[in-house]
């Protein structure tokens, strides 16, 4: 059995029901909108985010979920999908998960409007049901994601990023959404309980490990959908590079900065930078940090009694850093 199927097994029923509710939450009286949202729903990914919501809810609530849990999962997926649609416009990307992106098929104007529509649908789903605590969790995540992206753009211009700033960028850009999923799962069944914050921390740690793993792919030899060296070409400063920059001679430091600033489109030079980072311990350092986040997340789960849901969450934490793409 594939690892994702194994993780999903204790929440199979909930995920099937969620699919139906999620489709309904997207519906509109506008035919064009329905055509596009139908296209989106049929090309969904692994749906890790709703899985976090249901697994956390069931772990904390003796295997039970409620209507609020389904709404929480739907709202996170609506808002996450909205950000992906907008991201493809910002990045001028024509593909998403191997399929044409919305902007590739329907152009930027429609893609931006679709993203806005999905965002408003998510907000209204919470407001119409008085789920204001859930709405706050989501809204903070959206704000932080925007801040993280803008902070990364600002730092890419100056190339003056420290390890602390890098962690802040990935916490906001990536970890905050996974943290929101886990705290939503807790808040849906145990509103205002300490578990809401504990699960937020748990999700944040997983998100940090997830993003470092993603950054490591940029130095790998495996084909994972994005060509190696793409972060360097886009002048994104990731942990392996930051560590080496902070621990090499001034001469090497100047050469690295010059390479990223002025030669980031030169394939040969990018390969030289990748080799230099590998040979100077950048990858080993990043792997150590990634495993520290993983272990801290697993430690949080130790406080909860054994259950199929806890086991799935442990599998999920390990999958995040063992995945091949």
- How far, in Å, CA of 315 to CA of 53, rounded? 15
- 3-state secondary structure at position 99: strand
Q: Which of 212, 285, 214 is nearest to 248 (CA)?
A: 285
Local confidence pLDDT in tens for the 325 residues of the chain: 688 889 999 999 999 999 888 888 777 888 888 888 877 776 766 788 999 999 999 999 999 999 999 999 999 988 888 888 777 777 777 766 566 777 777 878 888 888 888 889 889 989 999 999 999 999 999 999 989 988 888 877 777 788 999 999 999 999 999 999 999 999 999 999 999 999 999 999 999 999 999 889 888 755 544 557 788 887 788 999 999 998 989 999 999 988 888 887 888 888 899 899 999 999 999 999 999 999 999 999 999 999 999 999 999 999 988 887 6
For residue 302, what are the domain limits?
3-307+314-322
Q: How many CB atoms lie within 10 A of CB 249?
A: 8
User: Which string of b and e fits 276-295 if b means at least 16 CB within 10 Å?
Assistant: bbeebebbebbbebbeebbe
> How many separate domains does the chain show?
1
- Domain at 89, CATH number: 1.10.600.10
């Amino acid at each position: 059995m594939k690892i994702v199927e194994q993780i999903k097994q204790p929440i199979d029923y909930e995920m099937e029901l969620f699919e139906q509710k999620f489709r309904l939450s997207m519906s509109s009286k506008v035919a064009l909108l329905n055509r596009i949202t139908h296209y989106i729903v049929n090309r969904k990914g692994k749906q890790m985010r709703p899985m976090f919501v249901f697994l956390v809810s069931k772990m904390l609530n003796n295997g039970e979920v409620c209507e609020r849990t389904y709404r929480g999962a739907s709202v996170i997926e609506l808002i996450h999908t909205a950000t992906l649609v907008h991201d493809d416009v910002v990045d001028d990307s024509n593909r998403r998960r191997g399929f044409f992106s919305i902007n590739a098929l329907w152009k930027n104007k429609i893609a931006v409007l679709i993203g806005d529509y999905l965002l408003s649908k998510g907000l209204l789903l919470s407001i119409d049901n008085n789920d204001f605590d859930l709405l706050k969790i989501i809204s903070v995540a959206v704000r932080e994601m925007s801040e993280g992206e803008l902070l990364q753009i600002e730092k890419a211009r100056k190339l003056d990023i420290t390890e602390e700033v890098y962690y802040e960028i990935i916490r906001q850009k990536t970890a905050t959404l996974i943290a929101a999923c886990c705290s939503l799962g807790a808040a849906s069944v145990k509103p205002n309980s300490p578990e809401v914050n504990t699960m937020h921390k748990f999700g944040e740690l997983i998100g940090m490990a997830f993003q470092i793993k993603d950054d490591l792919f940029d130095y790998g030899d495996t084909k994972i959908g994005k060509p190696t060296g793409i972060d360097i070409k886009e002048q994104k400063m990731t942990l392996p590079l930051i560590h080496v920059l902070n621990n090499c001679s001034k001469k090497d430091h100047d050469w690295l900065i010059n390479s990223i600033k002025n030669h980031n489109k030169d394939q040969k030079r990018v390969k030289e930078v990748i080799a230099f980072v590998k040979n100077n311990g950048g990858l080993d350092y990043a792997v150590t940090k990634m495993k520290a986040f993983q272990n801290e997340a697993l430690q949080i789960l130790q406080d909860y009694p054994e259950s199929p849901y806890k086991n799935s969450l442990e599998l999920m934490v390990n999958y995040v850093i063992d995945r091949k793409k």
